[in-house]
Amino acid sequence: MFGLDKKDTTLLLVVATLTILAPFLLNPFPTASGMAQFNAGYPDLMQRFVIFGIFAIGFNILFGLTGYLSFGHAAFLGVGSYAAVWMFKLFTYNVIPAIIMAVIIAGIFSLLIGFISLRRSGIYFSILTLAFAQMSFALAYSVLSNPKFNLTNGETGLQVYADDPQRFHHDGLPDLPHLFGLSMRSTYTMDVGAWSFDFNAGYYLCAAIMLGVFYLAVRIFRSPFGMMLRAVKSNQTRLNYTGLNTRPYTLAAFVISGMYAGLAGGLLAAMDPLAGAERMQWTASGEVVLMTILGGAGTLIGPILGAGFIKYFENIFSKINDNVLHQWFSFMPDGIENFMVFIVHPFVGKGWHLTLGILFMLVVIFLPGGLVDGGQRIGKWLRSRRGQKEDKTSGTTTPAE
């Protein structure tokens, strides 16, 4: 189907089902229960899951295929956001032109930076991209937000003011980003018994776009172009000796992943019309690197998992405070309750960074291929168990090797 082989089609269908059903899957606990703390099915976080999924998918096209580790991809995300908000400010709150503009501007920006940075490889490339991104951040945070020439609105973040021109905006349209009149924030809440599920217009727009670009990524991975990029990763020198100029290929991959980042930035602005400079900081670039490696670099689904993992921690674990802990353990006797709270306390709430750091280490130590690797191991283990059962019935065992 869609020019994909059977395995990829299944993967695509699985991803599609998961994203469509996400409002149900992410809200497994009844709203009033203590476990509701772990529900992630509210619009903002669901949007973040898919948007950062897009960002990581794009990053993986560069890093997973070519092995070029960019430490500056957040700059393209930031530029995309700024472009989108400027479209809102100047023309209309409709998200379509904003997103298109975000992709185009990020594409041009990544072409410029990629053209220069790709003259070097290895860590020299990483530092070049890092340098460009940090320069963009510094410029956006202060230099380009001075009162005389305010392009980014600096610390506060670029946002739409009532006195902005908004050429094509008219009464009757929502005063927020919308898709031909459908506000990105409109949400249908469905109450089923003790459960409550949110269906958010913005989320489904992001999800549809993510499915589209995920499909595109699968096609790139399976195309001759994708093969060429893998060849760059495995041995660029040999490729060069065969008389092939690899630069156009790596540059294309860089620009494509930059455009993915721009798309993610545009969507972030479309969901919430504010673009802050912190989006471009090196920590933000580092975050997408972590997402990709954590999920499994070079795999199709890995980056999406990694993005979900990190965003879940940032938004769910940071909100667990002592009050919540006491509620959880309230069924225990007082002494034990306080002890449990004392034990868990350093790892949640303001300690969520600590938990994240520990998990980074655990995943990379025990699952060299990231979360996807973990999934495969579980799958293999289940299969081998089934296999063993069959073996037992046939009465033979195969040696471990």
Partner 1 sequence: MDGFLLQILNGLDKGSAYALIALGLTLIFGTLGVVNFAHGALFMIGAFCAVTLQRFLSLSYTVEDPTQKDFLGNPLKVETPYVESWFGPEVGSTIIDWSVPLAILLAIPVMVFLGLVMERGLIKHFYKRPHADQILVTFGLAIVLQEIIKYYFGANPIQTPAPDALSGVANVGAIVGMELLYPVWRIVYFCFAVLIIFGVFAFLQFTTFGMVVRAGMADRETVGLLGINIDRRFAIMFGVAAAVAGLAGVMYGPINPPNYHMGMDFLVLSFVVVVVGGMGSLPGAVLAGFMLGILESFASTTWATTTIPGINQIIIYLVAIIVLLARPRGLMGRKGVMED
Partner 2 sequence: MSKSEVTRRGVLKTGAVAGAGLAVPTIFTASSAAAYTNEPTGGTVTLGFNVPQTGPYADEGNDELLAQQLAVEHLNGEGDGGCLNTFTSKALKGNGILGKKVTFVTGDTQTKSDAARASAKSMIEKDGAIMINGGSSSGVAVAVQGLCQDAGVIFMAGLTHANDTTGKDRKANGFRHFFNAYMSGAALAPVLANEMGKDRRAYHLTADYNWGWTQEESIVASTEALGWETVNTVKTPLASTDFSSYIAPVLNSGADVLVLNHYGGNMVNSLTNAIQFGLLDKVVNGKDFKIVVPLYSELMAAGAGENIKGVLGSMNYNWQLQNEGSKQFVKSFGEKYGKPPSNSAQTCYAQTLLYADACERAGTFNPCGVVEALEGFEFDGLGNGKTLYRADDHQCFKDVLVVRGAQNPTNAYDTLEIVEITPVEQVSYAPNHPMFGGDEATLGSCNSGA
Residues 361, 127, 250, 97, Cα dihedral to 10°: 90
Question: How far is it, in rounded angstroms, from Cα 200 to Cα 43?
Answer: 6
For residues 260 and 177, give the distance between their C-alpha atoms in angstroms, rounded to a whole number.
Answer: 20
- Give whichever of 134 and 200 is closer to partner 1, judged by the CB atom: 134
- 3-class DSSP state of 158: strand
Residue from the set 35, 361, 378, 382 that interacts with partner 1 by CB under 8 A: 361
3-state secondary structure of 199: strand
DSSP-derived secondary structure letter, 2: T
**Which of residues 92 and 134 has its CB atom nearest to partner 1 in the complex?**
134
Residues 197-236, mask of contacts with partner 1 (x by CB under 8 A)? ---------------------------------------x
CA–CA distance, 41 with 37 (Å, rounded to integer)? 11
Find out whether 340 and 329 touch, Cβ atoms under 8 Å: yes
The torsion of the CA quartet 264, 282, 114, 210, rounded to 10 degrees, works out to -20
Report the residue count for the chain.
401
Q: Considering only 19-27, 76-84, 258-266, 288-296, which stretch makes contact with partner 1 by CB under 8 A?
A: 288-296
Q: What residues from 53 to 82 belong to the interface with partner 1 (CB under 8 A)? A: 63, 67, 69
324, with CB counted inside 10 A (0-12, 13-18, 19+), is middle
State the nearest-atom distance from the C-beta of 354 to partner 2, in Å: 10
Q: Report what 264 binds from partner 2, partner 1, none; CB cut-off 5-8 Å by kind.
A: none
Stretch that binds partner 1, among 23-31, 152-160, 182-190, 347-355 (CB under 8 A): 347-355
Does 364 interact with partner 1 (rule: CB under 8 A)?
yes
376 binds, among partner 1, partner 2, none (CB under 5 to 8 A by kind): none
DSSP string, 342-373: HHHGGGSGGGHHHHHHHHHHHHHHH-TTHHHH
Q: Which of 295, 293, 291 is nearest to 314 (CA)?
A: 291
Chain-centroid distance of CA 126 in Å reads 20
Q: How far is the CB of 69 from partner 2 (least distance, A)?
A: 23
- Residue 343 binds to partner 1 (criterion: CB under 8 A): no
- Residue 274: which of partner 2, partner 1, none does it interact with, CB under 5 to 8 A by kind? partner 2
Q: CB–CB of 397/391 below 8 Å?
A: yes
Is 269 a binding residue for partner 1 by CB under 8 A? The answer is no
Residues that bind partner 2 in the complex, under the rule CB under 8 A:
20, 39, 42-45, 48, 96, 138, 141-143, 145, 147, 154-157, 159, 162-163, 176, 179-180, 182-183, 185-192, 198-199, 201, 204-205, 208-209, 212, 272, 274, 276, 278-279, 314-315, 318-319, 321, 323, 349-350, 352-353
Write the DSSP symbol of residue 91: T
Minimum distance, C-beta of residue 319 to partner 2, in the bound complex (Å): 6
Place of tokens 């009033």: 32
- CB count within 10 Å of CB 100 equals 15
- Our finding on whether 388 is near partner 1 (CB under 8 A) is no
Residue 118 site contact among partner 2, partner 1, none (CB < 5 to 8 Å, cut-off depends on kind): none
Minimal distance, residue 280 CB to partner 2, in Å? 11
Paired tokens of 290: 């972590």
Point out which residues bind partner 1 (CB under 8 A).
Answer: 63, 67, 69, 116, 119-124, 127-128, 130-132, 134-135, 138-139, 142-143, 236, 282, 286, 289-290, 293-294, 297, 346, 351, 353-354, 356-361, 364-365, 368
